[in-house]
Structure 1
Amino acid sequence: MPKAYWIARVNVSDPQAYAGYMALGPAALIAGGGTLLSRGGRSVALEGPEPSERTVVIEFPSMEAAQACHDSPAYRAAREKRHGAAEVEILIVEGLD
């Protein structure tokens, strides 16, 4: 079964409120089977639009595990803390076998 990669592009508009997400989000992702590979480090656009303020990459054992994590009560609680504090795009991409 191929692994899956959760890719999030994040622009924080309210750092104080976003701290509430950060207090819950990473732990929920790890509890859901995720391995944080990149979390807001430097990025550069080689083609296309400029990168978001933060780009996050998380590896999951499968697409199903990534989706289940996103839908979990723990991550739902984290998302509620993030509401209004950031613009977020999340993709889940299946890896190669």
Structure 2
Amino acid sequence: MKQGYIIARIDVHDAETYAKYTAQSPIVAAQFGGEFIVRGGQCEQAEGAGRARQVVIRFPSYARAVEFYQSPEYQAILPLALAGSNRELVIVEGA
């Protein structure tokens, strides 16, 4: 079975609100087998427009990644992320 990934590119504009989200998101992701493999950290924008923060979460399958995103638990904390940042987020199947 191929793994699933959530890839997010983020600019935080309200650190206090966004911190409330980041305190809870790993707990919710873990309920679906999610593991953060990239969470901020040093990065270099090599091509195109970029964002300040990058996040990659690995799941056991694409379906589990979708289940995480659509879950009531994640949807309950999502407004914190949206209020505290501008971002793009995709759910992809691994190779």
The answer for the alignment partner of 1:13 in structure 2 is 13
After TM superposition, give the deviation of residue 16 of structure 1 in Å.
1.0
Q: Using the alignment, how far apart are the partners of 1:9 and 1:27 within structure 2? A: 20
Structure 1: unaligned runs, 5 residues or longer: none
Q: Using the alignment, how far apart are the partners of 2:3 and 2:82 within structure 1? A: 28
After TM superposition, give the deviation of residue 30 of structure 1 in Å.
1.6
The answer for the alignment partner of 2:40 in structure 1 is 40
Per mean C-alpha deviation after superposition, the further-off stretch among 64-73 and 40-49 is 40-49
After TM superposition, give the deviation of residue 40 of structure 1 in Å.
0.3
SS in 1 for 2:83: coil
1:16-65 deviations in whole A, cap 9, x for unaligned?
A: 1112212211211121211110100111122222x311100111111110
1:1-80 superposed matches below 5 A? 1-49=1-49, 51-80=50-79
Q: Using the alignment, how far apart are the partners of 1:47 and 1:15 within structure 2? A: 26
Structure 2: unaligned runs, 5 residues or longer: none
The answer as to whether partners of 1:17 and 1:81 remain within 8 angstroms in 2 is: yes
Q: Percent identity?
A: 38
The answer as to whether partners of 1:70 and 1:76 remain within 8 angstroms in 2 is: yes
- Superposition TM-score, scaled by structure 1 size: 0.89
Aligned residues: 95
The answer as to whether partners of 1:34 and 1:66 remain within 8 angstroms in 2 is: yes
SS in 2 for 1:64: helix
- Residue identity in the other structure for 2:62: M
- Residue identity in the other structure for 1:92: I
Q: CA RMSD of the aligned region, Å?
A: 1.2
- Residue identity in the other structure for 2:39: R
